[in-house]
Amino acid sequence: MTGIKALARHLDLSIGTVSRALNAKPDVSEKTRRRVLDAARELGYRPNQAGRSLRHGRTNTIGMVLETGNASTLGGDTFFMHLIDAMQETLGSQGPDIVLLPCRSADDPIEFLRRQVARRSVDALVITATRRQDARIALLVEDGMPFLALGRSETPGDYPWIDLDFDGVARASVAELARLGHRRIAIAAPRRDVNLARVYIDGYRAALAAHGLPFDDALVLRASASENGGLAVAEQLLAMADRPTAVLLGQELMAIGVYSGLQAAGLTPGRDLSVIGFRQNPQLRFLSPSLACFGLDIRALGQAVGETVRQIATAGSGDMPRGRIWPMTWVPADSVQPPP
């Protein structure tokens, strides 16, 4: 790998001329520019990224803020690993690169983000686990730090976001169950203070009304987004005197616990209680009966997130759409059957 000084010596040109040629400055002739570029390729020249960052005020990195202490991440959910892989594929070998910024459960997420903003160590941020009123978003909007929210929020401000279709998934789930004759349908949403739970429950409630089904607050369960959370959901459902005939799960790992709880009670998912998971997750492909859920093209989603945050980092959000809801498709399976 050759630096700019060695490249200049090789060409018998000044460092300034070589630098201006590499950066396509207009005061360098096309013949000289072509000669410099050809030599750079031949010698394997690579720019000094630290120097370029100081000159241009950019780091050529994107910060991905992840809350690592939540139950689904600790339980082995690979959603973000697949997403980041697709993001990096889109950003390519020329960058910007992705820097993971793990926020532990013991950290104050506001202070954690405030430190990142003060350091200006990245050109833009992707934040996850958005809240209905999210102080992190308010901080970033006020500061002017470029960012993309992976999840919608009611926090005021003009900022871009991409979110999964939690509302549409809940509505489609209730519609399918109502079509089969279910009238008493429960829902389990993550216990954490994340906006996706509110959107999911609101969609469920609206769908019940659309199909003429009553809303019962006792059927809205909040649990850890994990196998243990699913087991707790199954235990609560089985303890009800007027047991529901179906349940919607706001996080697919819950299905493992629900299945376990039902089978321990001598019941069969689908036949005795219809179960709809959220996302089609390869970790659950061996569940029996197979889990009805919703398909998500996570690679396409990661590519869209990568392209969007690259634009934000380099050119600003500008005319970019403020919000984008990512579609998901119904995947029928044996865990959904007519009510017993």
Peptide bond into 289 cis (omega under 30): yes
- pLDDT for 203 equals 98
> What pTM was computed for the model?
0.81
CATH number of 61-164+298-326: 3.40.50.2300
**Domain limits, the chain:** 4-47, 61-164+298-326, 166-296
- pLDDT for 317 equals 66
Residues in the chain predicted with pLDDT less than 50, given as ranges, are: 49-56
Report pLDDT digits (tens) over 141-194.
999 999 999 999 999 999 999 999 999 999 999 999 999 999 999 999 998 889
- pLDDT for 315 equals 79
**Is 166-296 in CATH node 3.40.50.800?**
no
Residue pointed to by tokens 């950019």: 58
Report pLDDT digits (tens) over 19-41.
888 776 778 888 898 898 888 88
**Are 4-47 and 61-164+298-326 in the same CATH fold?**
no
Q: Give the list of residues 6+ apart from residue 149 with CB closer than 8 angstroms, or none.
A: 126, 127, 130, 134, 137, 159, 160, 161, 162
Architecture of domain 4-47: Orthogonal Bundle (1.10)
- pLDDT for 325 equals 97
- pLDDT for 291 equals 98
